[in-house]
Amino acid sequence: MKHYYLVALILLTGFFANAQSFEGIVKDAGTGHSLPYVNVGITGKNIGTVTDSAGRYKISLIGHEADIIKISMIGYLAQTYQIADFIAGNKKIILLQPSVTQLKEVKVTNRKWKEGVLGNTSQSDNTNAGFSDNILGHEIGTVIKIKKSPTFLKKFNVHISRAPSYPVKLRLNFYSLKKGMPDQLLQNQNIYVEAQAGQKDIQVNLEPYSIYVDDNFFAALEWIENSKGRGLMFSAYLSLLGSGAVISRQTSQADWEKVGIAGVAFNVLAEY
């Protein structure tokens, strides 16, 4: 009899685990098309993921009924649910509504604009920081200081200190700062980056995205697609008193944290 109780307990445990491990799909509410690379995660927790190229995701919600799940992507209105309601409502299909965004108004003056590089330009292969795993939604970056407002971002650059053995897909994000930590996204379009096997540098033309900043900002790369390989490392530099330390979040919707005393050598070509 004890044997049957044990089997029943195992089956019951498996049932509840499956009930709280969600597989779903995110779509555009207007077109019905699936949305790739949407951030899905429990806010403030290191539990999250990114939808795949077909808009599908899987996330474990076990033990988080009182927490909040957030689904968000540039160009769409974010949706949040208490997880208990999310489970009860069986939200297998999430429809995101497109958002209306306005380009930042820039006052044109007759001042002479200068071009220069902001951030750190290290190309060291010995001091590095980056992705030691391939967790979807993992994001790392650094604060970049401007010299004059407004500043127009023209090109993003970073040296790869340990090249990937397989192609890697990333997303480049720029954030405003609040108390020294990333706050609101500054761009209104997704900026996708692909690092090929053996590639040693990443350069992204930013001019089509019309990104102007008025103050110091945060530049980050986000891991958005699984790869056969693991990890990707960039040149870094030792940061005095940790003032330029890497800022990272483990996955989608997690909290940002300062990591170590080395700063990742992201830089941008800018006009100011």
In sequence order, what are the residues at sequence separation of 6 or more whose Cβ sits closer than 8 angstroms to the Cβ of residue 144?
118, 119, 216, 217, 218, 219, 266, 267, 268
pLDDT at 243 over 70: no
Task: Pick the range with the lowest mean pLDDT from 142-151, 223-232, 261-270.
Answer: 223-232
Task: Pick the range with the lowest mean pLDDT from 47-51, 56-60, 110-114, 180-184.
Answer: 110-114
**Domains along the chain with CATH numbers:** 2-96 (2.60.40.1120), 115-271 (2.60.120)
Predicted pLDDT of residue 217: 98
From CA 89, how far away is CA 72, in angstroms rounded? 19
Burial group, residue 57, by CB count within 10 angstroms (0-12, 13-18, 19+): buried
Nearest alpha-carbon partner for 263 in 132, 119, 164: 119
Pairing assessment for the beta strands 139-144 and 246-249 based on DSSP bridges: antiparallel
Predicted pLDDT of residue 4: 40
Q: Are 37 and 49 in contact (CB under 8 A)?
A: no
From CA 44, how far away is CA 50, in angstroms rounded? 16
pLDDT at 15 over 50: no
Handedness of CA 255, 232, 226, 77 (dihedral sign): positive
- With a pLDDT cut of 90, the percent of the chain lying above it is 77
Q: What is the mean pLDDT of residues 107-116?
A: 82
From CA 94, how far away is CA 55, in angstroms rounded? 10
pLDDT digit string (tens) for 32-84? 999 999 999 999 999 999 999 999 999 999 999 999 999 999 999 999 999 99
pTM of the predicted protein model: 0.89
- On average, the pLDDT of the chain sits at 89
